[in-house]
Structure 1
Amino acid sequence: MDKKSSKNNIKAIIFDMDGVIINSEPIYEEVNKKIYPEYGINLTQAERDSLRGTSLFDSWQKLLNKFEVKAEYSHYKIEDFIEQHIHSYYVGLANSEDLKLMPGVKAWFEFFKEHGYKMIIASSSYPPVVEYIYQRFELAEYFIGYVDSTTIINGKPAPDIYLRAAKRLNFKPGECLVIEDSENGVKGAKAAGCKVIAYNRAADPSQDLAAADLEIAEFSRDNLHKILF
């Protein structure tokens, strides 16, 4: 069955990256546990969870409005915090031997490619991180490219990144299927008018994914059929 016969009229796929394409969230979690206290910011797990899916700019804007950093960092601009954070994420990913594609996701890539669906990545991460993942896992074989947090004004849960991704794909948002794993991501994708699949492999209770059209725990053939046929 080709894409024209899809019951949902889906013509293109928009993938989130972290926690959907790759298992990067545990790596980021370890980085965050170290980097925030370094600046004198001590967050609860719930506070860290609330930032999931948002860009570093939005995260740091919220944090700097709420917390006072250590005196030695008082001269830092928000760009300085972001630059250090991006570097820490990059190093964490590059040094991780456990960084892998999510189980089954490559088979979905192959299916969508074989059946003529255009694909793009919409990530809240910054270009050095997205580009590293894009190259490391040879994603250009499947995707037309990516949009990242520097290409938009308002990050998730605003719809901006999905609207931009749909425009890059040359399809209407309603013709695009978004695959997300965060509450902020699901909200943003729905606000854009896209169909949304919530990938919740770990059954994470910190993320309210009820707004998604369907919630799945694995990239299986059965779930693929639930979405498209």
Structure 2
Amino acid sequence: MIKAVIFDMDGVIVDSEPIYEKADKEIFQRYGINLSDKELQNYIGVNLLDIWTDLFNKYHFKGEYKDYEVEDFIEEHVHGHYKVLSESDELALMPGIKEWFEYFKAKSYKMIIASSSYEPIIELIYQKFGLAKYMEGYVDGNSVEKGKPEPDIFLQAAENLGVKAEECLVIEDSEHGISAANQAGMKSIGFDRDTDYNQDLSSADILIKEFNQQNLEKLSL
């Protein structure tokens, strides 16, 4: 029996991926890193620690960045994301997601965010859109040892809510996120938008393209 719903944030609650994509390209180019679209897609849903650990091992940074540690790159990246999100006029809730929040709230399901983003970014979104009305907090990507596709972040979210893993439903838009939900032993909804991100969500229990009433009725909660 499902008692709780765990939401990814970026690309599920807010349509932030296009904003991130532009910012990421600028950030990586600043360090002399030119990633292909496929390489960028492989990092969707992955936390910054894992991304920058991977990049740090692949690239030999020189000049002003030669003494940088992974943590230095992460700090600047988080600051870059925070800046573009806080200044963006395009950042908005995903169409229909608020109605889903209202539905789950009316049914007394517990709700929480489990996002690979860092705490300042999640807090910005949390406050901007008044998510405390629905959510019982959040788990950020820096608060668990292993990020998605490992299940740690979802297991921590379930623990925070005081529910069992099998009592949770995860809503995700990334391949890594669905994999993490499966490994956690949770039911999952793959939010398969018409994007160029090419995420394989086929292992999700349910696939949807919109947050609407028709898809809510598919859940049978």
Answering whether residue 184 of structure 2 is matched by residue 192 of structure 1, we say yes
Cα offset for 1:132? 0.5
Residues 57-206 of structure 1 aligned to structure 2 (within 5 Å): 57-204=49-196, 206=198
Any residues of structure 2 matched to 1:37-56 within 5 Å, and which? 37-56=29-48
Contact 1:39 1:70 in 2 (8 A): no
Kept after mapping to 2: 8 A contact 1:22/1:100: yes
TM-score (norm 1): 0.94
Q: State the AA in 2 paired with 1:23.
A: D
Q: SS state of the match for residue 121, structure 1?
A: strand
Kept after mapping to 1: 8 A contact 2:41/2:197 = no
| Distance in 1, Cα, partners of 2:149 & 2:66 | 29
Residue 29 (structure 1) aligned to one of 21, 36, 55: 21
Alpha-carbon distance in structure 1 between the residues aligned to 2:189 and 2:195? 14
Query: CA offsets, 1:106-150, max 9 Å, x none?
Result: 000000001100000000000100000000000000000000012
Specify the code of the residue in structure 1 equivalent to 2:108: G
Q: Which residue of 2 aligns with 1:6?
A: none
What is the distance in 2 between the residues matched to 1:100 and 1:205?
19
Where 2:142 maps in the other structure, the secondary structure is: helix
Give, in whole Å, the separation in 1 of the partners of 2:133 and 2:165.
23
Q: RMSD of the alignment, in Å?
A: 1.0
Scaled by the length of structure 2, what TM-score is found? 0.98
Deviations, residues 174-198 of structure 1 (Å, cap 9, x unaligned): 1100000001111001100000100
Amino acid at match of 2:116: S
Equivalent pairs, count: 221
1:69 Cα shift?
A: 2.4
1:219 aligns with 2:200: no
Distance 2:188 2:203 in 1: 8
CA distance in 2, matches of 1:20, 1:122: 11
Whether the 8 Å contact between 1:41 and 1:69 is mirrored in structure 2 is no
Stretches of 4+ aligned residues off by more than 6 angstroms = none
Identity of aligned residues (%): 54
1:94 partner amino acid: S
**What whole-Å deviation, never above 9, does each CA across 1:9-29 have from its counterpart, x for those lacking one?**
211100000000000101100
* Structure 1 Cα separation of the partners of residues 46 and 31 of structure 2: 20
Q: Does the CA-based 8 Å contact 2:141-2:147 persist in structure 1? A: yes
Q: Is 1:203–1:217's contact at 8 Å kept on the other side of the alignment? A: no
Task: Tell me, in whole angstroms, the C-alpha distance in 2 between the residues paired with 1:206 and 1:225.
Answer: 26
- What is the match of residue 5 of structure 1? none
- Counting only pairs closer than 5 Å after superposition, residues 2-13 of structure 1 correspond to structure 2 as 9-13=1-5
Structure 1, residues 19-64: CA drift from partner, whole Å, max 9, x if none?
0000010110011110101101110000000000010000000111
Shift of residue 203, structure 1, vs aligned partner: 4.8
3-state SS of the aligned residue for 1:201? coil
